[in-house]
Amino acid sequence: MATNRIDLHRQAEEMVTLGADLLEWRADAYDKVTEAGEMLSLLGELRQAIGSIPLIFTCRIDLEGGLRQMTQELRLALITAAIISRKIDLVDIELCNEHEFVDVVRQSANANNCRLILSHHNFQETPGEAFIVGKLQEAQAAGADIAKLAVMPKNPADVLTLLSATNTARNGTVAIPLVTMSMGEAGRISRMAGGLFGSDITFACGSQASAPGQMHIDDLRRGMALLF
């Protein structure tokens, strides 16, 4: 989530020291992300700093929590440039993008040994179980290697809805890996226990969270150790 080069190196070093299994660069947080040359140069430095740790590249659309507005043409150019650089292992884009946008990213990812995460975020509420399962199915049908969904709970029952939907998808028609989470303070249990219901990845943070309710990696590991 760094906004500048110095902070990015600091955060990368912190996460390597903390022993993260994989890292996500939220490039939309970086001040000069719209300058392709600057972004690619920094991506090379980041790859060198983290070594062989798998790297997710995300330039989040503003409609789903992205930190800056930019044209779809610019976003697509930045995302495909990151893929073609072969400095990343996974790329995360949103299902709400136009079909043509998704197709271009998927084809570029397939050609450059990069795995595609198709994601959906709702920061206002938790839809019903059928909707959640449907979105995960939609990601699979659109060619995702990994389907991701994050929703905001208004009460504990919403968290149960998310976990139940994850279990339904995992044991039903969704055959690809899943990443699901309930955000905010109420949803923290989903970050610790999601793996029991079928979620394959959980997100933690170091010094700066990228979503409401993210826990520090050390706290998350302690919580998971009690469950697994």
Domain boundaries, the chain: 1-117, 123-221
Active site annotation includes 121: yes
Catalytic residue among 87, 120, 135, 148: 148
pLDDT, averaged per 10 consecutive residues of the chain (228 residues), comes to 92 92 94 90 94 96 92 96 97 97 98 98 96 98 98 97 98 96 94 96 80 84 89
Catalytic residue among 87, 120, 121, 135: 121
- Do the domains spanning 1-117 and 123-221 agree at the CATH topology level? yes
Active site annotation includes 87: no
3-state secondary structure 32-79: CCCCHHHHHHHHHHHHHHHCCCCEEEECCCHHHCCCCCCCHHHHHHHH
- CATH architecture assigned to 1-117: Alpha-Beta Barrel (3.20)
Q: How many CB atoms lie within 10 A of CB 219?
A: 14
pLDDT the model gives residue 206: 78
Fold classification of 123-221 (topology level): TIM Barrel (3.20.20)
Q: pTM of the prediction?
A: 0.94
pLDDT the model gives residue 33: 87
